[in-house]
Structure 1
Amino acid sequence: MVTNEIYIQQTPDVIYAYLEKELCKAFSCQPGQLLGKKITHTQKIYGKSIEMDQEVTERVRGESLAFVSVYGQDSLVVRYQILADEEGWSRVILTESADSTNKFKSLNYKLFSLPVLRNVGKKKLYRKLTALKLSLEKE
C-alpha cells in the first residue's frame, strides 16, 4: 500500500464534488447511482489490450471515494480521503493498494510497498494529487 497527501485551498465539499463528478463521467452515471456501479472497458498496457473491470466501492459524502480495478489476476484499490484542515484548506490523502492471485506478483507488490522502494509509488501519487490541485484551481 502506498499513500501520499497534499493540501488544497478548498473545502472538503468542493473537492469531493469535483472527484465525484469525474467518477460519474468515467462510470457514465449520476451521483446517486455511483456506489456499487460497475464498468468493463479495454485498456492498452504495454501494447496489449487488457479487459479491466472497475467498481465504486466507497462513497461517503464529503469525506471519501474509492474504487477497485480488476484486470486478470491483479487488482488495484484507489481511495481518496478528504479531511478539513485550517480555515478553507483541506488535506487530500490518496492511497493505492495492489494485490494479485499470482503469488509472484503478490510478492512483487508487497516488495514495492517497502519503505526503500515506496518512493517511486509516492511520486506517482503526488503527481496525481498535484494534477487534482491544479484542476481545482482552474475552476
Structure 2
Amino acid sequence: MSNVHDSPNAWVAEHIRRFEETGGRPRPGVNDLLLTTQGRKTGELPRTALVYARDGDRYVLAASNRGAEHHPAWYLNLVADPYVTVQVGTETFTAYARPAADERPRLWRLMVSAMPEYAVYQQRITREIPVVLLEPVPK
C-alpha cells in the first residue's frame, strides 16, 4: 500500500518498524497488529500498531490512546469508514471494524487481561475507552 503513512508519533513509528523487522512479533508475549484506516479528514491511510486479543475469529482492540481524554484518530477514522486493513504477523487482510456494544463488558475484561495498563488508563480518565471488534471480511 503505497499511500500508507506510519504514525507521526516516534514511539509508534519505531514499534511499526520493529513489527516489520520481526515478522509481526516485536514484543514476545504480546499480540500486536498493524491497523490501517482511511483518514476521515485527509483521505490518507494512516497506520498504527496496537495490542489485540482474540475472540473466536474476531480481533479485539481497546481505543485507549495511552489514557488520553480524547479518542485516538484511528478510532474516529474507523467509525467514519469501518473497512480497515489489518496485518497480523505476515498476513494482511481487510476487516470490518465496529465498536462493541452489548459485548463490551466481557471484551473489556479480555483486553485488560491482555494489557493490564488499560485498567489504569480507564481509572484516570472520564471517557469510556471504546472496545473495537475487527471481523475479517471473507475473500
TM over 0.5: no
TM-score bracket for this pair, using the shorter chain length: under 0.3
TM-score by length of 2: 0.26
When Rg is computed on C-alpha atoms for both structures, the one with the higher figure is 1
User: Higher strand proportion, which one?
Assistant: 1
The structure where helix makes up a greater share of residues is: 1
When the two structures are superposed, what TM-score results if normalisation uses the length of structure 1?
Answer: 0.26
